[in-house]
Structure 1
Amino acid sequence: MKGLKSLSLFLSILLIFFAVLIILTFFGNPISRLVAEVAANKYLKTHYTDLDLERDRVYYDFKDGSYVVRLQDKNSIDTNFNLRFNSFGKMKRDTYDERLFNTYRRYIDFLYDLGEEIAKDNGLDFEVWLRPDNDFDYKAHLTLDQDFDADNLPSKVKVDFKAYAEKPSLDDLMSGLKKVYEALKERNIAVKSYSGLVIPNDDKEEDGKAETWKNAISVNDVPEEVIVDGDMDALRRLFDEGNKILHK
């Protein structure tokens, strides 16, 4: 009986140990969190005193073991950044200088919404996405807190569409490309290239998403002139080249 009690006590202690270990792994050490809070207070007494900052409580990021303070300037939509400390309150990273990336993310979201708007306004029965051209240097062309205007975008865009058809064909791809081209031309939006994906109707789920893309056909980075000329031979070459890369 005594041995069973000892075993039970041991297992209880072991269970508590693992529970504490899990808590520390995912939520951090409350003492270290307090140390980070004190370190952040000290740091902000001499940094960013010109900003009207809101701040969250320190939280633990188990992915890199940092104790993080999130900050937001009330007068700037894009000036949100964080301070990261180790468990001893030593600064690991200050992301203030990276805040222009927040502007870039807003631009990406703006283009996403613009794609939806264009599809709706033109009565397109498929999805359209706009995204910045791959060569776009946001650090050189965006400014913090910038407002975006659909009639004066700061970059060329890449356009993608996703449609459904009974038996997807290159004709379906060209048809979709032409519709998207005309819609973007009407809005006078500068496009770097077009891409399309056509999925069989049989692979369409009730929510409009594709159950699988394995039976779909797609083409990437189609130049404008191929669409304007309706050049099916050029579209075929781009399609074949894409398949070669996909199946390497």
Structure 2
Amino acid sequence: MTKTMKIILYISLVLLLGVILFFLVVFYGNPISKILANRSADEYLSTHYTDLDLVRERAYYNFNDGTYYVRIWDKKSIDTKFYLSFDSFGKFKYDSYSERLFNTYSRYVLFLNALADEIAKDSGLDFEIWLGPDDEINYSSYLTLDQDFDADNLPSKVKADFKSYAEKPSLDDLMDGLKKVYEVLKERNIAVKSYSGLVIPNADKKDDGEAETWKNAVSVNDVPEKVIVDGDMEKLKKIYDKGNEILHK
């Protein structure tokens, strides 16, 4: 190998190493900045939340916002999970401790998802249902940190939704599904804020039971309980028409 070829090879290797290091820093952050973030986190926690039994992870880099994060949690609390964020110089940016109640809310959402599956199975429904928190009320007004959830005593009203299939979906199919959902939830004494439903043509049903497309389906949102109890097709149609107007604006 000639001297010129050796020089070219050396330069190529240096350039390749530079490119690799560049991408490592871009996607995984600067090692020195991580050290600074870890040090700053230690200093911050030495004067904050000293009454908690905290565990923290090492700093990691988020290339989306160029920030270094340190995840922290309390061993004695299921919901006290938060993070501290720092810039590349280890300067403090944000503490998410005050937002930890959102972790309770997330657990509540998962609890309602599991409860919906349980109710659908126990009631022998031939379609899917979902339950979700009443989103018109801020969860901070009815949830407490580390709260346990009881299916017989939910902390809030819920919004109920279903998805079913029919040969030629119609408002009658929607009302039929809404009534079935109303009945099974009434049996469980679950307070419902409003009901929604989606009926998809059998022709649009895939082999795995999902929908290939929803464009040929009929759906309705936020139906009051009274409309279902009264079987009021006229009011159901008004809600359906209003929803279509908003959808196609």
Please give the range of the TM-score, normalised by the shorter of the 2 chains.
Answer: over 0.9
Q: What is the match of residue 24 of structure 2?
A: 23
Q: 1:9 to 1:217 in 2, by over 3 A?
A: farther
Amino acid at match of 1:163: S
| Aligned equivalents of 1:34, 1:65: Cα separation in 2 | 15
Note the alpha carbon deviations across 1:138-166, whole angstroms, 9 max, x for none: 11221110011112111111111011112
- Aligned-residue sequence identity (percent) comes to 66
Amino acid at match of 1:191: V
Q: Does 1:87 align with 2:77?
A: no
In structure 2, list runs of 5 or more residues that go unmatched: none
Q: Displacement of 1:206 after TM fit? A: 2.2
Q: Does 1:227 align with 2:235?
A: no
Note the alpha carbon deviations across 1:146-187, whole angstroms, 9 max, x for none: 011112111111111011112111111111000000011111
Q: Displacement of 1:109 after TM fit? A: 1.0
Q: How many residues of Structure 1 are paired with residues of Structure 2 in the alignment? A: 248
Matching of residues 96-115 of structure 1 within 5 Å: 96-115=97-116
State which drifts further: 166-175 or 15-24: 15-24
Q: Displacement of 1:21 after TM fit? A: 2.1
| Aligned equivalents of 1:50, 1:147: Cα separation in 2 | 23
Q: What is the match of residue 175 of structure 1?
A: 176
| Aligned equivalents of 2:214, 2:171: Cα separation in 1 | 16
In structure 1, list runs of 5 or more residues that go unmatched: none
| Aligned equivalents of 1:206, 1:77: Cα separation in 2 | 39
Note the alpha carbon deviations across 1:116-145, whole angstroms, 9 max, x for none: 111111111111111111222211221110
Q: Displacement of 1:231 after TM fit? A: 1.1
| Aligned equivalents of 2:22, 2:223: Cα separation in 1 | 54
| Aligned equivalents of 1:13, 1:31: Cα separation in 2 | 22
Q: What is the match of residue 197 of structure 1?
A: 198
Q: Does 1:72 align with 2:66?
A: no
Q: Does 1:137 align with 2:167?
A: no
Q: 1:5 to 1:165 in 2, by over 3 A?
A: farther
| Aligned equivalents of 1:106, 1:140: Cα separation in 2 | 16
| Aligned equivalents of 1:3, 1:198: Cα separation in 2 | 73
Structure 2 SS opposite 1:239:
helix
Q: Displacement of 1:14 after TM fit? A: 4.1
Amino acid at match of 1:149: D
Q: Displacement of 1:19 after TM fit? A: 2.5
Q: Displacement of 1:9 after TM fit? A: 5.8
Structure 2 SS opposite 1:188:
coil
Q: Does 1:156 align with 2:150?
A: no
Provide the alpha-carbon RMSD of the alignment.
1.8
Structure 2 SS opposite 1:46:
coil
TM norm structure 2: 0.93
Structure 2 SS opposite 1:75:
coil
State which drifts further: 14-23 or 58-67: 14-23
Structure 2 SS opposite 1:211:
coil
| Aligned equivalents of 2:133, 2:200: Cα separation in 1 | 25
Q: Displacement of 1:8 after TM fit? A: 6.2
TM norm structure 1: 0.94
Q: Displacement of 1:6 after TM fit? A: 6.7
Q: What is the match of residue 63 of structure 1?
A: 64
Note the alpha carbon deviations across 1:78-124, whole angstroms, 9 max, x for none: 00111111111111111111111111111111111111111111111
Q: Displacement of 1:44 after TM fit? A: 1.4
